[in-house]
Amino acid sequence: MTEDLETLDDKQSTLTQDAHETVHNPWLGLRTKQRFFENDEIAAFLHRGLFYARAGVPLHFRGTAGRGKTAIAIEIAKRLGRPFSVMTGNDWLDIEDMVGKQVGQSTHAVVDKYIQRVRRSEETTRYDWENAILADAMLKGHTLVYDEFTRSSPKANGILLSVLEEGILVAADPLAASTHIHAHPNFRIILTSNPHDYAGVNVSPDALLDRMVTFEMSRYSFETESGIVAARTGIPPLLARRIVRLVSDLTPDDQSCSMRACILIAQIAAMRLRTATLSDALLAQISADVLRGRGIAITTGQIAQYLDQRPRQEKAI
């Protein structure tokens, strides 16, 4: 028992020493590589999505947070070969944020004094209209990624019914440039959503779900998650595997963390690796700080003990 305490004290001493070392431009290690990782598992997913999207079918990716829904949606939008835009759902989003609105007015006045005793004036007012993101994408044939669409109110999303079914956007505002916007043949829409029991999320209307293909996004395999973490942060694949395994093994099934926890740990580790080695004591402290912030009751000592018990070949970072 005494030896265990001394070992833990040594690790804490090493951690303190690590924390006080000077790091040149530490923020460089926190920049993601923004490289899309693809293996057979993700490629199969992309091919199915592209097949439906090219057929003109609206896509819907649904799953818990941190499952890569937005990344998959944007990657499909890129591979469709058309410009794309992203709109994020919110409870303040209104119909005019999808269709458009009046943004001002222009007044033109003409005063005629050709005859001295006769004064004739003529005034013309023109209302300036600006199309919103949905109307603009439909007119130009772009791809629209509507991220977390169920965070918007059902009233706002109701305008999508005719868009998904007939490809027509109805503008009720009399000032609109056109009361009916017909979608360009190349227009595509991809939606993502979280489960309805999340805070701020509305239930997906059945009428909308009937008009799209829904993919349920579950957790990726261990190999895929490790590859994503390595690609996003630039850390060695072996370290990415250690981090993914650590988070998976030390979080209860009912409190499982999303892949974002692994990526955050890896980002901080990448910063450290730019200037020095990454000790197990420091990795344990980083992991404990990240996991505790997600409601996981775990200590630095417990993680350090877990790392000590892992096979030696996993420690050669």
pLDDT above 70: residue 97: yes
144 and 47 together in one domain = yes
Residues 10-52 pLDDT 10s: 544 544 444 444 445 544 544 545 578 999 999 998 999 999 9
164 and 52 together in one domain = yes
259 and 149 together in one domain = no
pLDDT of residue 20: 45
253 and 305 together in one domain = yes
200 and 254 together in one domain = no
156 and 247 together in one domain = no
18 and 44 together in one domain = no
Q: Model-level pTM greater than 0.85? A: no
Q: Is residue 126 in some structural domain? A: no
Tokens coding 280? 């197990």
- Among the three residues 216, 247, 262, which one is the final residue of a domain in this structure? 216
Q: Is residue 109 in some structural domain? A: no
Alpha-carbon 291 to chain mean position: 21
Q: Is residue 114 in some structural domain? A: no
Domain span including residue 261: 2-33+234-311
59 and 206 together in one domain = yes
Using alpha carbons only, what angle is made at residue 213 by residues 210 and 218, rounded to the nearest 5 degrees? 120
181 and 270 together in one domain = no
pLDDT of residue 238: 93
pLDDT of residue 35: 77
Using alpha carbons only, what angle is made at residue 177 by residues 176 and 180, rounded to the nearest 5 degrees? 80
Q: Is residue 204 in some structural domain? A: yes
Residues 260-313 pLDDT 10s: 999 999 999 999 998 888 999 999 999 999 999 888 889 999 999 999 887 644
- Facing residues of 216 across strands? 62
pLDDT of residue 110: 64
- Other CB atoms within 10 Å distance of the CB of residue 257: 20
Q: Is residue 226 in some structural domain? A: no
- Among the three residues 216, 247, 267, which one is the final residue of a domain in this structure? 216
Tell me the residue ranges of DSSP E strands in the chain: 59-62, 84-88, 100-112, 120-131, 143-147, 168-170, 180-182, 188-193, 213-216
25 and 82 together in one domain = no
**CATH number of the domain bearing residue 47:** 3.40.50.300
Span 168-172, mean pLDDT?
A: 79
170 and 48 together in one domain = yes
24 and 52 together in one domain = no
- Among the three residues 190, 216, 242, which one is the final residue of a domain in this structure? 216
Q: Is residue 107 in some structural domain? A: no
Ramachandran region of residue 285, left (φ > 0), alpha (ψ -120 to 50) or beta? alpha
Q: Is residue 224 in some structural domain? A: no
Report the number of distinct structural domains present in the chain. Answer: 2
* Least trusted range by pLDDT, from 42-56, 94-108, 134-148, 173-187: 94-108
pLDDT of residue 18: 47
Q: Is residue 72 in some structural domain? A: yes
